[in-house]
Structure 1
Amino acid sequence: MKRNIVIAAVTAAALAVGGTATALAASGDDDDAAAPSAKVTASEAIAAALKDTPGTAVSAELDDDEGGAAWEVDVLAPDDTWHSVRVDPVGGKVRGSYADDEDDAVEIRAALKHTTLTATEAVEAASAKGRVTSVDLDDAAWEAETHTKGEPEHEWLVDTRSGKLTADDD
């Protein structure tokens, strides 16, 4: 969540000074390029991350950035420590993890109290619409992005209790 705000700010700043190419590179949102080469699903990446770093998965995103393609799974540990876990999208091995200074653990814990669906269950619900390249817990829903070959990425909201899928029109 916070990372998306930072990415948006960097993108806006780059565009303001005429750096369109810089903005596109800085966004890191190159899921379309990484999706075809990924053999590991979002559910498998989440499982690998939780095996490495116990807690609750609150997001997973297939990224293709300067470190190469990887699943980035955010895990909130029981002590409210935030961890980012990078998972290889081809072999499913954890490449590394680190504790992150995330200050919205309280917000995430509050959102988790209102959900009966895990990140993996949200991925499974969204998988009906294509290959899931991103899932993220928001205040009111799981937000998922799907990729289907030859089509643009689609955004979905997954109800946190029922798993009902609706198009995200934002």
Structure 2
Amino acid sequence: MKRNVVIATVAAAALIAGGTATAVAIGSEDGTAAASSSSPAQGQQAEGVASYENAQGQGGDNDGDDAREAKAASVTAQQAAAAALKAVPGTVTEADLDDDESGVAWDVNVLGKDGKWHDITVGADKAEVRSQHVDQDDDGDEGKDRVRSVLNDASVDIAQAAGKAAAHGTVVSVELDGPDHGKKLAWEAETVTKDGAEHHVTVDPGSGAVSNAPSDDDNDGDDD
């Protein structure tokens, strides 16, 4: 009798709140029953909170992604570039370590000898090409025209630039870019040290001169 009263009370409260109720009788040690209920709105709210907390734990903080990917990779930027060039002869303009559907891999861009831009995915555990396709977008993009021009006069390729940057940690990305360098493009590399600190290194494609930007993890007053 008490169980029926409790269930009816819970159901009525849920209906007043604007939803339907699911009541479940739960036995207690003395043989009496307690009731548990939830409405669709309450369920959706709980799912939303759980999803947010899950996102915070799994993807809400990207600061450690580069360090995690660097630890997971046994293939270097130089090896990834070499593997890509075996698939598509030409010049590598970018190599970026990232997660894809098949796990951690290198995303490599190649300006092929055919004059086309190729996107190639190379495994980070084994230097094998996982996928490749021709980039059909922005064939006349001004930025790509600048890259072509610089590559024609460059004496330092991406493998050499990555080798210079590797003195500052594990290279997780390197590309020929230049928004922060006026009209002149340069090899811009990002590295991660064993303690997770990120560093940015710039290599001149003509002279090979290296310049360093402050670490992302540098603190005020740190003399390192």
Shorter-chain TM range is 0.7 to 0.9
How far did residue 90 of structure 1 move? 0.7
**Separation of aligned partners in 2, 1:145 and 1:58:** 15
**Separation of aligned partners in 2, 1:161 and 1:99:** 28
Partner of 1:10: none
8 A Cα contact 1:84 1:97, kept in partner: yes
Which has the bigger relative contact order, CA under 8 A and spacing at least 6?
1
Q: Does 1:96 align with 2:141?
A: no
Query: Match for 1:37 among 51, 54, 72?
Result: 72
Taking the TM superposition and a 5 Å limit, the aligned residue runs for 1:1-170 are: 30-103=65-138, 104=141, 105-139=144-178, 140-168=185-213
How far did residue 41 of structure 1 move? 0.6
RMSD: 2.3
Gap regions ≥5 residues in structure 1 = 1-20
What are the superposed Cα offsets for residues 121-156 of structure 1, whole Å, 9 maximum, x if unpaired? 101111111111110002421000111111321111
8 A Cα contact 1:111 1:138, kept in partner: no
8 A Cα contact 1:45 1:87, kept in partner: yes
Moved segments of 4+, more than 4 Å: none
**Separation of aligned partners in 1, 2:87 and 2:100:** 22
**Separation of aligned partners in 1, 2:78 and 2:154:** 18
**Separation of aligned partners in 2, 1:101 and 1:160:** 26
What are the superposed Cα offsets for residues 65-112 of structure 1, whole Å, 9 maximum, x if unpaired? 444210011001123211111111011111011111242332210121
Q: In structure 2, the residue corresponding to 1:162 is in which secondary structure?
A: coil
Q: Percent identity?
A: 44
What are the superposed Cα offsets for residues 16-54 of structure 1, whole Å, 9 maximum, x if unpaired? xxxxx69x67x8x93222110111111000000000111
Tell me which moved more, 120-129 or 58-67.
58-67
Q: In structure 2, the residue corresponding to 1:151 is in which secondary structure?
A: coil
8 A Cα contact 1:136 1:144, kept in partner: yes
**Separation of aligned partners in 2, 1:100 and 1:30:** 26
Gap regions ≥5 residues in structure 2 = 1-54, 179-184, 217-224
Number of matched pairs: 147
**Separation of aligned partners in 1, 2:170 and 2:213:** 16
Tell me which moved more, 160-169 or 48-57.
160-169
**Separation of aligned partners in 2, 1:80 and 1:137:** 17
**Separation of aligned partners in 1, 2:174 and 2:201:** 9
8 A Cα contact 1:30 1:65, kept in partner: no
**Separation of aligned partners in 2, 1:152 and 1:65:** 23
